[in-house]
Amino acid sequence: MRKNKSEDKVIAFIIENQENFYRLAFSYVKNAADALDIVQESIEKAILKKDLLRDNQSVKSWFYRIVVNSSLDFLRKNKRMSLVDEDTLEYYRSGQNDSYQDIDLRRSLEQLPIKFKSVIILRFFEDLKIDEIAEVLNENKNTIKTRLYKALELLRVEMNEEH
Amino acid sequence: MDKKLEELKREYKNTPIPKDLNKVVQKAIKQKEKKPLRPNSKWIIGLAAAVVIFMVSINTSPAFAKSLSKIPVVGSFIEVLTVLEIHVNENNYDADIKIPQVNNFENKEFENSLNQKYLDENQKLYESFTKEIEEMKKDGDGHLRIDTNYEVMTNDDLIFSIKRTVVETQASAYTTNKFDTIDKQKQIMLTLPILFKSDQYIETISEIIKKQMREQMENNPGNVYWVSDAGIEKLPEDDFFDQIDADQNFYINENHKLVIAFNEYEVAPGYMGAVEFVIPTKKIENILVGNKYIH
């Protein structure tokens, strides 16, 4: 059996970071059983596709990408995604000028469109770098920066850190 | 970092971790690369038989029939009813078999031959189910479950497409689908060779599908197909999808596009399920006999 280095690397990484993957999956699907399924599915996918991992690519962003995509697929299949349309978005955006002040913070994170929620979670909770997030979400760095900025704006959180 | 964000982060990090997480992870790692065997190939040894209790109930699902009758169609419309359900429920052995029956065909002979076919395929399945569980019981262990069902994919003025699904579950589930697509006006069964001018379609459609597979794999690391030139060279050459069969599973969808269907494990790992590919009409219009059915 050809058991190469990249496989060992991937497996070690998965075992070490399993709780992070679980939390990430849970943040999307909000249900322990489904989150476990997603972790399991992601690992199976990763191992099947580990040969696609380029040498210079980080295992970290590659695997996060699989977890995020599996979660999104799951939401799509189960139609639980609460999409926010432009109007609602506009409503939140304009919210910063008026006087609603005590929107429950967690609820407001949940109410962010998925793409904004993803950057917040990956950047601040999972501590990924901007270019890692770009790889995970398959976008370019500038898009991620803009999205992050907008997400914070929507959450009405001050951004006082460099990236 | 902002205080609110820190609070959110704390909450996030406090997501309770289920205690089976590690077990699930270890199991997923161990199961790697095992292409599941078709469940049927295992479990055969045994002793001593027992009686299967089964119930046959005639069921005409009136609600379903009614919903179908409401579809406004010109000319004859076809109804599908569940005429026969077989339930077996005994310890580890379950069967839930639903047999469809079509009616309202002008050509009664054609109608009968279809219904006979649906009956036969389910009967055959049921017989192999009873045989298999007898053998499993001799061994004193094992479990088996069979579900069959059907779904009307398209039912308009011209086209009637029906899918029949069989799910066999032992250790893992294995799904097979069969399709019939019918020209309602001529009351004939459509096949790929009827739809195309020559057997060139086999190659053309296969290439279209391979391209779609590669694109999907490129765009989503979670999608895997057994296709060449997509980065999974590790698989033996023979395992790659090469060509569709001349009588590959297909149906015509509501938009009158050709859809090529594969059974589970046929071209992709099990978690991908039974996959389907919609063939863009533009790419096949030159080799189609006409644009009556597919456009």
CB contact under 8 A, A23 and B231: no
Whether residue A107 has pLDDT greater than 60? yes
Kindly report the number of other CB atoms within 10 A of residue B72's CB atom. Answer: 7
Distance CA B110, CA B87 (A): 28
Span A49-53, mean pLDDT? 75
Strands B144-155 and B159-169: antiparallel
- Lowest-confidence region among A139-153, B125-139, B271-285: B125-139
Question: Which residue type occupies B124?
Answer: K
Distance CA B14, CA A23 (A): 9
Distance CA A117, CA A109 (A): 6
User: Which of A18, A120, A155 is the closest to B25 by Cβ?
Assistant: A18
CB contact under 8 A, B234 and A159: no
Q: Are B276 and B261 in contact (CB under 8 A)?
A: yes
Whether residue B187 has pLDDT greater than 80? yes
* Amino acid B29: pLDDT: 82
Look up residue A125 and give its two tokens.
């909770």
Distance CA A34, CA A72 (A): 12
Which stretch of DSSP H or E encloses residue B28? helix B21-30
Q: For chain A, positions 31-70, list CB contacts with chain B under 8 A.
A: 32, 36, 39-45, 47-49, 51-52, 62, 65-66, 69-70
Place of tokens 């992050």: A148
The span from the first CA to the last CA of chain B, in angstroms, equals: 57
Look up residue B183 and give its two tokens.
């020209």
| Cα atoms in the 13 Å half-sphere on the side-chain side of A21 | 31
Q: Considering only residues A24 and B131, tell me which one the structure prediction assigns the higher pLDDT.
A: A24
B178 confidence band (pLDDT: 50, 70, 90): very high
* Amino acid B52: pLDDT: 26
Considering only CA atoms, which of B213, B158, B153 is closest in space to residue B179? B153
Cα distance from B5 to chain A (closest Cα, Å)? 7
Sheet holding B250-252, edge to edge: B250-252, B258-261, B276-279
User: Which of B15, B22, B25 is the closest to A23 by Cβ?
Assistant: B15
Q: Are B86 and B194 in contact (CB under 8 A)?
A: no
CB contact under 8 A, B221 and A105: no
Distance CA A72, CA A58 (A): 21
Distance CA A47, CA B30 (A): 10
Residue B75 has φ and ψ, to the nearest 5°, of 75, -160
- Could you tell me how many CB contacts below 8 A there are between chain A and chain B? 112
Give, in degrees to the nearest 5, the angle at Cα B160 between B158 and B162: 165
Strands B276-279 and B173-183: unpaired
B206 confidence band (pLDDT: 50, 70, 90): very high
Look up residue B273 and give its two tokens.
């399920």
Task: Kindly state the DSSP code that residue B31 receives in the 8-state scheme.
Answer: T
Question: Which residue type occupies A116?
Answer: F
* Amino acid A59: pLDDT: 84
Kindly report the number of other CB atoms within 10 A of residue B86's CB atom. Answer: 20
Question: What's the pLDDT tens digit per position in A15-42?
Answer: 889 999 999 999 988 888 889 999 998 9
Question: What's the pLDDT tens digit per position in B48-103?
Answer: 222 222 222 223 344 444 444 444 433 446 777 777 787 888 777 888 888 888 88
- Tell me, what's the ipTM? 0.75
User: Which of B9, B26, B231 is the closest to A124 by Cβ?
Assistant: B9
CB contact under 8 A, A22 and B12: no
Question: What's the pLDDT tens digit per position in B194-205?
Answer: 999 998 999 999
| Cα atoms in the 13 Å half-sphere on the side-chain side of B172 | 14
CB contact under 8 A, B232 and A36: no
Contacts of A138 (CB under 8 A, 6+ apart): A65, B219
User: Which of A43, A49, A65 is the closest to B25 by Cβ?
Assistant: A43
A99 confidence band (pLDDT: 50, 70, 90): very low
- Torsion angle of alpha carbons B17, A104, A112, B21, nearest 10°? 0
Q: Is B14 helix (H, G, I), strand (E, B) or coil?
A: coil
- Lowest-confidence region among A34-43, B28-37, B236-245: B28-37
Distance CA B251, CA B189 (A): 11
The pTM score is 0.51
Rg (CA), chain A: 17
Q: Are B218 and B206 in contact (CB under 8 A)?
A: no
Which residues in chain B touch residue A45, judged by CB atoms under 8 angstroms apart?
221-222, 224, 271
Question: Which residue type occupies B83?
Answer: V
CB contact under 8 A, A157 and B222: no
* Amino acid B266: pLDDT: 84
User: Which of A69, A109, A161 is the closest to B221 by Cβ?
Assistant: A69
Q: What percent of chain B has pLDDT over 90?
A: 28
| Cα atoms in the 13 Å half-sphere on the side-chain side of B254 | 4
Q: Considering only residues A125 and A90, tell me which one the structure prediction assigns the higher pLDDT.
A: A125
Q: Is B66 helix (H, G, I), strand (E, B) or coil?
A: helix
Look up residue B219 and give its two tokens.
């765009």
Query: What average pLDDT does the structure give for chain A?
Result: 77
Q: What percent of chain B has pLDDT over 70?
A: 80
CB contact under 8 A, B33 and A160: no
Please, which residues bridge with residue B55 across strands?
B87
Give, in degrees to the nearest 5, the angle at Cα B113 between B259 and B156: 40
Cα distance from A157 to chain B (closest Cα, Å)? 7
Whether residue A10 has pLDDT greater than 90? no
CB contact under 8 A, B33 and A48: yes
Contacts of B207 (CB under 8 A, 6+ apart): none
Whether residue B117 has pLDDT greater than 70? yes
CB contact under 8 A, B221 and A39: no
Q: Considering only residues A124 and A83, tell me which one the structure prediction assigns the higher pLDDT.
A: A124
Whether residue B39 has pLDDT greater than 70? no
Residue count (chain A): 163
- 3-state DSSP: chain A helix, strand, coil percent, rounded to 5? 75, 0, 25
- Lowest-confidence region among A143-157, B8-22, B51-65, B170-184: B51-65
Cα distance from B267 to chain A (closest Cα, Å)? 14
